[in-house]
Amino acid sequence: MRWSNLGDDTPAAAPALFGTDVVTTTVDTPEFRGITFHEVRARSIINRVPGTSRMPFVWTVNPYRGCSHACVYCFARKTHSYLDLDTGAGFDSQIIVKVNAPQLLARELAGGRWHGEHIAMGTNVDPYQRAEGRYRLMPGIIAALRDRANPFSVLTKGTLILRDLELLRQAADVTDVGVSVSVGFTDPELWRTVEPGTPAPDRRLGVVRALRDVGIPCGVLMAPILPYLTDSPAQLRETVRAIAAAGAASVTPLVLHLRPGAREWYMAWLARHRSDLVRRYEVMYAGGAYAPKWYQRRVTREVHELATEYGIGPARRGGHRAVPEPAPRPEPGTQLTLL
């Protein structure tokens, strides 16, 4: 493993942001069976998003790298190759933990160079994946942001965020707090194979209800919408209906994109489970990581029309933030600090 590349940058683009005093732990308990944790001490925790990014924010905090949610389509898979780690099963089971993230964040927020800009979390891997139940980094992170009245947002598929409801309420009393839950579809059979490490879609929608009930509006990132699998008019209607019933403040659709690393893993899954669709995907994504614009526009329009029908709408500027498509992979040598 190339620990010298254990930074929040593209390979060899900048000095590593982590020390090499790594503690590797394998936990043989049912909830963590097969998962290895690599505990590292970060040298920096607030990361700047590249200027060419499509993201609607500039700064991120990511306490973990790799994700036990094991979503077959996850765009962050490629980042594991920078460490000579496998982007398939290795991404799902080899989890990098920045154990000093809360303390480091508190220090950086108090520094003279920081000016209180919005910080987004969950834009690379989920901060409320199963590892968070063991390491409990997010309470300290949220407390640090609360104490400095620093605006932030969280995107998650994890129900563990409910553990931190009181901290979120306290933070929302002093600053802008945005929360979004990712629910791309409601089909339970498809969920079991596409997102095997995540809570079921109905449990994620339960998070939306719980947040709404304590006065914290929660949006839904309806992502990814999977071509030929979750995009029929009936499927889109059922998903938007369930999102509306949960009391979501907004819904933002996002069609599947397949960047290197994710593309190979997803296509292998497709060949095993829906071989009849392989050729159709090859045609749809022949032009690169993104589905054709006409298809994206059609699906987005359908979701927005359904959302209007059910009394919700897309995320609004200044509201609780969802996350759009990540920018295409930068050219070699371009600095990237999303991880």
Answer yes or no: is pLDDT of 190 > 50: yes
The pLDDT of residue 40: 94
Here the tokens at position 250 are 């907004």
Once rounded to an integer, what is the mean pLDDT over residues 32-50? 91
Once rounded to an integer, what is the mean pLDDT over residues 49-58? 69
CA 165 from centroid of its chain's CA atoms? 19
Q: How confident is the model at residue 235 (pLDDT cuts 50, 70, 90)?
A: very high
The pLDDT of residue 52: 57
What are the pLDDT digits (tens) for 2-16?
Answer: 554 454 443 333 445
The pLDDT of residue 79: 85
H/E/C letters for each residue in the chain? CCHHHCCCCCCCCCCCCECCCCEEEECCCHHHCCCEEEEECECCCEEECCCCCCCCCCEEECCEECCCCCCCCCHHHHHHHHHCCCCCHHHHHEEEEECCHHHHHHHHHHCCCCCCCCEEECCCCCCCCCHHHHHCCHHHHHHHHHHCCCCEEEEECCHHHHHHHHHHHHHHHHCCEEEEEECCCCCHHHHHHHCCCCCCHHHHHHHHHHHHHCCCCEEEEEEEECCCCCCCHHHHHHHHHHHHHCCCCCEEEEECECCCCHHHHHHHHHHHHCHHHHHHHHHHCCCCCECCHHHHHHHHHHHHHHHHHCCCCCCCCCCCCCCCCCCCCCCCCCCCCCC
Rounded-to-integer distance, Cα 55 and Cα 122, Å: 12
Contact assessment for residue 330 and residue 336, using Cβ atoms and an 8 Å cutoff: yes
The pLDDT of residue 207: 98
> How are beta strands 23-26 and 64-65 bridged, if at all?
unpaired
The pLDDT of residue 320: 39
What are the pLDDT digits (tens) for 251-298?
Answer: 999 999 999 999 999 999 999 999 999 999 999 999 999 999 999 999
More confident residue, 211 or 334: 211
In degrees to the nearest 10, what's the CA dihedral of 264, 265, 270, 273?
Answer: 150
Percent of the chain with pLDDT over 70: 83
Q: How confident is the model at residue 224 (pLDDT cuts 50, 70, 90)?
A: very high
Contacts (Cβ under 8 Å, ≥6 apart) of 56: 321, 323, 324
More confident residue, 50 or 196: 196
Angle value at C-alpha 186, between 184 and 317, nearest 5 degrees: 35
The pLDDT of residue 325: 40
What are the pLDDT digits (tens) for 118-163?
Answer: 999 998 899 999 999 999 999 999 999 999 999 999 999 999 999 9
The pLDDT of residue 316: 47
The pair phi, psi for residue 198, each rounded to 5°, is: -100, 160
Answer yes or no: is pLDDT of 31 > 50: yes
Once rounded to an integer, what is the mean pLDDT over residues 75-87? 87
The pLDDT of residue 279: 98
Q: How confident is the model at residue 335 (pLDDT cuts 50, 70, 90)?
A: very low
The pLDDT of residue 328: 35
The pLDDT of residue 25: 73
Once rounded to an integer, what is the mean pLDDT over residues 95-108? 97
Percent of the chain with pLDDT over 90: 75
Rounded-to-integer distance, Cα 211 and Cα 252, Å: 18
Rounded-to-integer distance, Cα 322 and Cα 171, Å: 19
Rounded-to-integer distance, Cα 75 and Cα 41, Å: 25
Rounded-to-integer distance, Cα 69 and Cα 256, Å: 17
